């Protein structure tokens, strides 16, 4: 099973990682060229949050988590990170996590719009959480208009949010549009079958991103 690295970068004002002609362009080109050459890198998707475009979400697919750890321990990693952080707001938090997703994560990232939802737990999700969660997601996939794919996984690392600390569950849903998700959220069907996702979690946060795959990002800068 591949491992997904999730990174959320707060971007400095005036920098847009999606603008091939902007101030961030040389740095994003360097990120793409460096990352795609790292052993074990399988694919990379990036995009700005629709709800807060100052947040840049990067999803890196590794053959295994150890490949990323090896890159972090290598000599080129420090200078690479220093170059990347030239566009990062130093006064805001950078979040980096690893997840092994169940479901079709590549199809989810390739969707026109991808929802990312964090479910926070004290310590971590209960042992029977996934049975109910996956049943819910399969049911949603059969009935929800505009839902194209789903994937779900637990973070390797502890996550802390509003005093809640433990392993978080990350849900990734591929939608035709953000509006399809918004409308589905209003339905009784969503609320009824979604109880398995929210009943034991202490907090939920969610947003949307229009991801580009790294080859497509790279071609914009050629």
Task: Give how far Cα 34 sits from Cα of 22, 106, 197, Å.
Answer: 20, 21, 37
CB contact set of 11 (below 8 Å; sequence gap of 6+) = 17, 24, 48, 54, 55, 56, 87, 88, 89
Residue ranges, CATH 3.30.70.100, the chain:
3-99, 102-209
pLDDT, tens only, 75-118: 999 999 999 999 999 999 999 999 999 999 999 999 999 999 99
Alpha-carbon distance 7 to 46, whole Å?
10
pLDDT at 18: 87
Report pLDDT digits (tens) over 35-76.
889 999 999 999 999 999 999 999 999 999 999 999 999 999
30 CB-contact burial (10 Å; exposed 0-12 / middle 13-18 / buried 19+): middle
Residue whose entry in the numeric block shows the structure tokens 């009935």:
143
Of 213 and 119, the one with more pLDDT: 119
> Class for domain 3-99, per CATH?
alpha beta
Tell the CATH topology of 102-209: Alpha-Beta Plaits (3.30.70)
pLDDT tens digits, one per residue of 111-156: 999 999 999 999 999 998 988 889 999 999 998 999 999 999 999 9
pTM recorded for the entire structure: 0.93
């Amino acid at each position: 099973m591949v491992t997904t690295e999730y990174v959320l970068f707060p971007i400095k004002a005036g920098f847009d990682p999606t603008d091939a002609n902007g101030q961030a362009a040389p740095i994003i080109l360097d990120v793409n060229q460096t990352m795609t050459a790292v052993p074990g890198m399988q694919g990379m998707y990036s995009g700005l949050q629709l709800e807060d475009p100052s947040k840049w979400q990067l999803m890196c697919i590794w053959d295994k988590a150890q490949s990323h750890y090896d890159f972090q321990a290598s000599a080129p990693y420090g200078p690479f990170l220093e170059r990347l952080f030239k566009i990062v707001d130093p006064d805001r938090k950078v979040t980096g996590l690893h997840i092994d997703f169940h479901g079709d994560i590549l199809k989810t990232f390739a969707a026109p719009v991808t929802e990312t939802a964090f479910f926070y737990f004290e310590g971590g999700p209960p042992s029977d959480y996934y049975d109910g969660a996956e049943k819910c997601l399969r049911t949603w996939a059969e009935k929800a208009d505009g839902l194209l794919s789903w994937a779900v996984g637990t973070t390797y690392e502890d996550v802390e949010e509003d005093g809640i600390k433990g392993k978080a569950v990350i849900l990734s849903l591929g939608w035709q549009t953000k509006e399809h998700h918004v409308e589905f959220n209003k339905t009784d069907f969503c609320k009824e079958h979604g109880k398995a996702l929210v009943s034991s979690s202490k907090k939920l946060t969610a947003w949307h991103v229009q991801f580009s795959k790294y080859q497509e990002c790279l071609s914009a800068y050629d």
